[in-house]
Amino acid sequence: MKDNYTISEISKLYGIGVDSLRYYERIGVLKPRRGANGYRLYSLKAIYKLNIIRDLRQLGFSMAQIKEYLDQQSVGNTMALLRDEQQLIQKQLKALNAAMQSIRKRMSSLESLAQVPTGVFMVSPFPERFCLQLNADITRDEEMDFAFKKLHRRHENKMHLFGNQPLGAFLSMEDLNKGVFGLFRSVFFILEEKTKDCDFVFPAGRYLSLYYRGNYRQSADRMREVLAYAGEKGYRILGDPFELYRIDNHETMLPEEFLTEIQVRIEAEQ
């Protein structure tokens, strides 16, 4: 092994840009000596420091923290640094485990949704569902996507993996009674946990639902079918109906794979 390496050799060996190595020199983390030709020469000690810098940067330490440690290396400071590393790794493991659980949950959900029967009316009980909402008049798919992104940006701290949040859009019974279909009045996300910090709550109760696959041009026809079925069965509609986008363009670009559920809360007439 050589005693000294040029900046280009170090850059290639460690995959670190020459500009980064010069930056490390400017802030005093690395101090290469100059050869007779004026070129920077890095000693084995500098290489040792680069190993430390690389490892700590991968763990998220700032260059200021790294410089402070390298300037004051001691057994005590090393122990303190190792404890900090341990805590960082534990946080990273916790975040990775949460991400893995979210991915497994979404995979399981997609597998289940692939078996969902479409065109079948169902009445099911639901508990309270807590939601975040954005009011917006929407008639086009592009407007719907923009509204969801806007809502997501507004509440990123409350939301996890985007595809795991059940999302949907409200229609208005007042509009539907006037024969206006295809106009959505708001979008929403259903939160995974009960919380007071939400925009509205779906009441617990019985909901009439219908799944359909394919593009959204059929939305108005499927909604008419749901309302007609509710009338035939003598169900009293409570509140505005809504669509839930179970599989959409977050999972596929093939419209034939889209899966949408229409829901409306009902009460059987006595």
> pLDDT value at position 173?
94
- Interatomic CA distance for residues 2 and 5, integer angstroms: 7
- Interatomic CA distance for residues 102 and 99, integer angstroms: 5
- Interatomic CA distance for residues 141 and 217, integer angstroms: 10
> pLDDT value at position 120?
96
Q: What is the pTM of this model?
A: 0.71
> pLDDT value at position 6?
86
Give pLDDT < 50 ranges for the chain.
161-162, 270
Report which residue type is found at 264.
V
| Distance between first and last Cα of the chain | 90
Q: Break the chain into its structural domains and give their ranges.
A: 4-73, 76-115, 117-268
Q: Give the count of alpha carbons within 13 A of 162, CB side only.
A: 12
**Hey, what CATH topology would domain 4-73 get?**
Multidrug-efflux Transporter Regulator; Chain: A; Domain 2 (1.10.1660)
Confirm if 177 and 231 have CB atoms less than 8 A apart: no
- Interatomic CA distance for residues 211 and 122, integer angstroms: 9
145-153 LR contacts (CB < 8 Å, sep 24+): 145/249, 147/187, 148/187, 151/187, 151/188, 151/189, 152/189
> pLDDT value at position 43?
82
Task: Identify the DSSP state of 32.
Answer: P
4-73 and 117-268: identical CATH topology = no
Is the CATH number 3.90.550.10 carried by domain 117-268? no
> pLDDT value at position 162?
47
- Tokens 């700032």: give the residue: 62
* 227-268 per-position pLDDT tens digit: 999 999 999 999 999 999 999 988 899 999 999 999 999 996
